[in-house]
Amino acid sequence: MFSTLQDIKIHAVILYQISDLCYHTVHMKKTRKHWWVWLIVFAYIGWIFSNSMMVAEASQEMSHTFTYRLLAIVNRYGFWVDFDLFHHYVRKLAHFAEFSGLGFLVALAMCICPLFRWRFINFALFLFLIPVADETIQTMVAGRSSEVFDMFIDGGGILFGGFCGYVLILILCDLFRPRKKQA
């Protein structure tokens, strides 16, 4: 039946593709029904990319305004912090926060309607590709630069947001799980 190892590999790939097609055919109704979940995720990614496309002056003005307001609150409680150092941490925290939101949305979308058969691939795709794309966009904008450390911050934000989303899903599933009546 199979003459070489290459024939076996080819048949295995064909069988895998057929099973994958069957899986998506069976779940097609669910995918069409919940397409809006991924629309929200991709709209959020668009918002992240639009933040990365801001020229350096506009981005810095926005973060300076937020840093001044936050620093006023910190100073009100008697803490005195160097503005430049505080501003640096605020910018890094902004990266973490916006990507935490993405991780949260991806975790919820994966539970409702995964894009791929294996959920790990769904999450890994966003964990690696979106931060790299975000930093690549920044290299093409005037006055902006790309930093590898920011990619790690972005990835950490996605992991944190995904963890929070997953915990929320577990809590909601436990709250709404049908309980057995006690006699």
DSSP state letters, 26-47: HTHHHHHHTHHHHHHHHHHHHH
Residues 19 and 73 in one domain: no
Residues 18 and 49 in one domain: no
Residues 29 and 39 in one domain: no
- For 128, the domain range is 35-175
How many domains would you assign to the chain? Answer: 2
Residues 62 and 21 in one domain: no
Residues 47 and 66 in one domain: yes
Residues 45 and 12 in one domain: no
Residues 107 and 164 in one domain: yes
> What pLDDT is stored for residue 19 in this prediction?
44
- The pTM of this model reads 0.75
> What pLDDT is stored for residue 161 in this prediction?
95
Tokens encoding 168: 């929320």
Which are the contacts of 122, defined by CB distance < 8 A and separation ≥ 6? 106, 110, 114, 115, 116
16: pLDDT strictly greater than 90? no
> What pLDDT is stored for residue 80 in this prediction?
85
Residues 123 and 150 in one domain: yes
Q: 144 lies in a domain?
A: yes
> What pLDDT is stored for residue 43 in this prediction?
94
Q: Which of 59 and 180 is assigned the larger pLDDT?
A: 59
